[in-house]
Amino acid sequence: MALQKRIWRILSENKGRYIGIFILIFLGSFTLVAAKGFADNYGLLVNRFALHNLQEDLSFSVDQPLEGLAALKQETGAAIEPYRYADIPLSDKGELRLLTPQQTVNLPAVTSGSGLQQPGDILIDPFFASTHGFKIGDRIDTGHQSFRIVGTLALPHYIYPLKYINDILPPSGFGIGLVSPADMDSHPEAVTVYSVRFAARDNLGGQVIGLRAALEKQGVGLSDWTDAGNNKRIRMPWATITGAKTIAVPLPVALFLLCCLIVGIVIWRTVKADSVIIGALYAQGYRRRELTLHYLTLPLLLAAAGGLTGVLMGLPTIYPTVKYMANSYYIIPYEKLAVSAADVLAGILMPSAFLGLAAFLVIRRELRKTAGELMKGDRGKTKINFLERGLRLERFSFGTKFRLREQLRSIPRLLFLLFGVTAASVMMMFGFTINHSMNVVFQSGVDGTYDYAWEYSFKETRQGQVPNGATPFNALRCYPESKENAEFYLTGIASNADGIFLRDAGGNLLPKNQVNITYLLADRLKLREGQRIAFVSKLDGRSYELVVDGIVQTYSGQFIYMPLEDFNKLTGQPAGSYTGVFSMGKLPYEDWELAGVKDLQNLNNTMEDLAAPMTLMVIFMALIAALMGAIIIYLVTSLMIEESRATISLLKVFGYRGKEVRSLILNGSAWVVLLGFMLSIPLMLASASALYGYLGEMINMVLPIMLNPAYVILSFALIVTVYQATKGLSGRKLIKIPMSEALKAGSE
């Protein structure tokens, strides 16, 4: 059809506009394919690894070697197998955790090189290998042992290689290595841990209870009981996967919807402007379907091009991202990835469906008119919408009235700008806010709660004196009766522990002889002072109940603090029992006695390791958001200028100066941008809280939802800069509009 030639002319007449829409669609499809492809593939690999390599369901330690293991296995139908581990400091500021292989649970996956063949061989994790520059064939010297690196590996119970289970990050330079049991024999300090995997894959909760009962019947002292569901080494990948999933669909859909609005406006205007021609074509026997198709060509072309480009550029990012994550973050074996055909189709077709439908509805409404009606041509006869009519603006200055009316003239355009700015701001602040929450959590170690420098926790409960300058504590892992995955520590601390400061929201010190709950846990369980909390011990399943006296304003995790004496009484332990100490100085404990050591004042160092990639990601997100904002503001401004050509020309004729015209036409959107930004704050908090909620459910990690005013201001400054720059660009278009337009044209 000769009509189709017009498409190219229309496209090239408004290049900027269509490039803008194209980029928005592209970003949508790209995100859809890349984020979903990553999340799905990585999730699949993690799940497959857990399944094929028989990931443990739980692990525990015992106070004496477990006897009758065979009978126990028989009774519970579970694979129960111990492994040993020992931590070896390396000469160059690193630490290697040696582990022994297991045969029935947590099967190691060799990701390069070969498996262990003989004593002296070692398999190490690929991240450790790359940070220390180790290659296959190299030797690792531990001082009194020398290992030959035969390959790299992934371990199902060390996907996220944390040194201590309650850490958020592995210490820098830390890694894991698999060695033969014979090599481990020369480490008498090695710790034994039992890994359990049940044969029947359903009713795991019930089987756990059965196993615990069986163990208690034997009278063994259990410690470090850790369900896989609460094990960050196992569950942490889901934080990232969930994060990617949260943006994988909503962001593209938001972008596509925005494009619908803008394309709807553009098409409507084109059809309107053409109405006389359309009428004439009707009269000559053109069919409605042919014309509809003609006007659909442009949006469909844009959608298909944007969608296809997005998919084509999104697909190649999946494999490198998965590979990078699998090698250096959450260590898993990775293999050929499967790209979901549905995702690819969605990436290509979703924009077409969205835009096609929006355009179709608009076109159909216009084309329903008769040829006569159309030929009369009510071009320029803009209807007055209810907002414009309803407003009583008399008391405002002319400039304000004019700007307001200019914005209200087209409600779809107004919505596009409003939601566009909101979406861009949400995206920008989302990254900043997550970054901030993480920082707060890491820094909470130095938020003044602990004046102590070190926290030592022992493998076994002790009684008696603690060293000078140290204060004892005892702790029990528990979960609320109604919410099993909200695991927390019930911690008994000495009432006279003068290095612990529990403060309430007002900054007042809370007495240590009462029950105090940390803010994050209280918030998660919706608990307030004076309310009762019923909870269950993870260790023996006993139920307890306490009344909360105070809420501690700290972001350092989920704890209930109570006096040590009361704690021991409550849990039925001998008076003076403790499982750890806080101390001002370093204490000469041996590694084998300890379950963990925390440097309470220097958590920041670890944070820096995480900070760099995190900052990069946040900056990247902010830049994409700024680009999005720029495109949206540009599209609206250029549309507005075009719709107001006659007015602009007229203002010039009347003797308005260039600056005055610019201010009237361009500054009117400022309040919409401001409103859009303000809307984004609650919206962003809501989406962050949704994501944090997931994280809590998935990995029992709670982050405080906090707005950092500095980041809000930074985001606002970015949006304003984008707005101003875009206005500057559009200003040039304004200058080009000639006065003759008003002199010739007969508008209303």
Q: How far apart are CA 222 and CA 68, in angstroms?
A: 16
Q: How far is the CB of 743 from another protein (least distance, A)?
A: 6
Nearer to another protein, 15 or 732 (CB): 732
- Report how far Cα 165 is from the mean position of its chain's Cα atoms: 21
Region binding another protein by CB under 8 A among candidate stretches 93-101, 329-337, 383-391, 572-580? 383-391
By the rule CB under 8 A, 748 interacts with another protein: yes
Give the binding range for another protein (CB under 8 A) out of 219-227, 576-584, 585-593, 652-660. Answer: 652-660
Question: Pairing relation of β-strands 174-179 and 94-99?
Answer: parallel
Residue 732 CB, nearest approach to another protein (Å): 16
Nearer to another protein, 543 or 740 (CB): 740
Q: What is the SS3 assignment for 385?
A: coil
Closer Cβ to another protein, 285 or 655, answer by number: 655
273 binds another protein per the rule CB under 8 A: no
* Choice from 164, 329, 544, 656 touching another protein (CB under 8 A): 656
732 near another protein (CB under 8 A): no
Given CA atoms 702, 706, 712, 714 in this order, what sign does their dihedral have?
negative
Closest to another protein by CB, 381 vs 736, is 381
Q: Retrieve residue 452's tokens.
A: 């102590």
What single string gives the DSSP state of each residue in 682-739?
Answer: HHHHHHHHHHHHHHHHHH---------HHHHHHHHHHHHHHHHHHHHHHHHHHHH--T
List 133, 188, 390, 746, residue binding another protein (CB under 8 A): 746
Applying CB under 8 A, does 390 fall inside the site for another protein?
no
106 in Cβ contact with 54 (< 8 Å): yes
The piece of 130-138, 280-288, 379-387, 538-546 that touches another protein (CB under 8 A) is 379-387
Output the smallest distance, CB 399 to another protein, in A.
7
Judged by beta carbon, residue 9 or residue 381, the one nearer another protein is 381
| Radius of gyration for the chain, computed over Cα atoms and rounded to the nearest angstrom | 33
Helix axes 658-666, 645-653, angle to 10 degrees: 150
Q: How far is the CB of 685 from another protein (least distance, A)?
A: 36
Distance CA 219, CA 213 (A): 10
Q: Is 653 in the site for another protein (CB under 8 A)?
A: yes
Helix, strand and coil in the chain, % to nearest 5: 55, 15, 30
Question: Is residue 747 a contact point for another protein (CB under 8 A)?
Answer: yes
- Partnered with residue 162 across adjacent β-strands are none
When the beta carbons of 429 and 651 are compared against another protein, the nearer one is: 651
384 binds another protein (CB under 8 A): yes
CB of 274 to another protein, least distance (A): 20
- Site membership for another protein, residue 651 (CB under 8 A): yes
Q: Contact 382/323 with Cβ under 8 angstroms?
A: no
Tell me the sheet residues that pair with 534: 545
Using an 8 Å Cβ cutoff, are 318 and 339 in contact?
yes
Q: Which stretch binds another protein (CB under 8 A): 34-42, 382-390, 425-433, 629-637?
A: 382-390
Give strand ranges (E) for 228-371. Answer: none
Of positions 506, 507, 574, 655, contacts another protein by CB under 8 A: 655
Cα–Cα dist 298/516, whole Å: 64
Q: Which is nearer to another protein, 593 or 660 (CB)?
A: 660
Burial of 540 (0-12, 13-18, 19+ CB in 10 A): middle
Cβ 174 vs Cβ 85: under 8 Å: no
Q: Residue 739 interacts with another protein (CB under 8 A)? A: yes
Pick between residue 449 and residue 649 the one whose CB is nearest to another protein: 649
Looking up tokens 């201001």 gives 713
Note whether 650 binds another protein by CB under 8 A.
Answer: yes
Q: What is the smallest separation between the CB atom of 406 and another protein, expressed in angstroms?
A: 7
Tell me how many residues contact another protein (CB under 8 A): 35
Distance (Å, rounded) from C-alpha 663 to C-alpha 728?
11
What is the nearest approach in angstroms of another protein to the Cβ of residue 390? 12
Q: CB of 713: closest distance to another protein in angstroms?
A: 35
Q: Which is nearer to another protein, 382 or 461 (CB)?
A: 382
Amino acid identity at 380: G
In 3D space, the residue among 114, 675, 132 whose CA is nearest the CA of residue 123 turns out to be 114
Nearest residue (CB) to another protein, 665 versus 718: 665
Contacts of 720 (CB under 8 A, 6+ apart): 673
**C-alpha to C-alpha distance for 43 and 33, rounded to whole angstroms:** 15
- Cα angle vertex 392, ends 389, 398, to 5°? 105
Give the nearest distance from C-beta 264 to another protein in angstroms.
20
Stretch that binds another protein, among 52-60, 225-233, 398-406, 445-453 (CB under 8 A): 398-406
Distance CA(158)–CA(32), nearest Å, equals: 30
Report the nearest approach of another protein to the CB of residue 735 (Å): 11
Residue 654 or 671 having the CB closest to another protein: 654
Exposed / middle / buried, residue 518 (Cβ in 10 Å: 0-12, 13-18, 19+): buried
For another protein, the closer of residues 571 and 647 by Cβ is 647
Question: 589 vs 656, which CB is nearer to another protein?
Answer: 656
Which residue from 138, 167, 388, 504 is in contact with another protein, where contact means CB under 8 A?
388
Query: Of 1, 209, 690, 743, which one interacts with another protein (CB under 8 A)?
Result: 743
Q: What does the H/E/C string look like for 220-244?
A: CCEEEEEEHHHCHHHHCHHHHHHHH
What is the nearest approach in angstroms of another protein to the Cβ of residue 385?
A: 9
Regarding 654 and contact with another protein (CB under 8 A), the answer is: yes
Residue 286 contacts another protein per CB under 8 A: no
N residues, the chain? 748
* Between 317 and 747, CB nearer to another protein: 747
Q: How far is the CB of 273 from another protein (least distance, A)?
A: 15
In the shown chain, the binding pattern of residues 627 to 646 toward another protein, with x for contact by CB under 8 A and - for none, equals -------------------x
Applying CB under 8 A, among 81, 121, 406, 487 the residue interacting with another protein is 406
Closest CA to 662 of 724, 719, 716: 724
380 binds another protein (CB under 8 A): yes
Q: How far apart are CA 687 and CA 695, in angstroms?
A: 12
Q: Which is nearer to another protein, 166 or 740 (CB)?
A: 740
Taking the least distance from each CB to another protein, the nearer of 141 and 660 is 660
**Of positions 15, 133, 188, 398, contacts another protein by CB under 8 A:** 398
Question: Which residues, in sequence order, are CB contacts of 681 under 8 Å at separation 6+?
Answer: 425, 429, 707, 712
Measuring CA to CA, which residue among 456, 56, 457, 459 is closest to residue 221?
459
Residue from 437, 439, 471, 647 in contact with another protein (CB under 8 A)? 647
Among 144, 381, 732, 736, binds another protein (CB under 8 A): 381
Q: Is 401 in the site for another protein (CB under 8 A)?
A: yes
Which stretch, 65-73, 122-130, 278-286, 377-385, contacts another protein (CB under 8 A)?
377-385
List the beta strands (DSSP E) in 217-369: 222-227
Q: How far is the CB of 736 from another protein (least distance, A)?
A: 14
Count, in order, helices (H) and strands (E) of the chain. Answer: 24, 20
Binding to another protein by residue 501, rule CB under 8 A? no
**Where do contacts with another protein occur on this chain (CB under 8 A)?**
380-382, 384, 388-389, 393-394, 398-399, 401-402, 405-406, 408-409, 646-647, 650-657, 660, 739-740, 742-743, 745-748
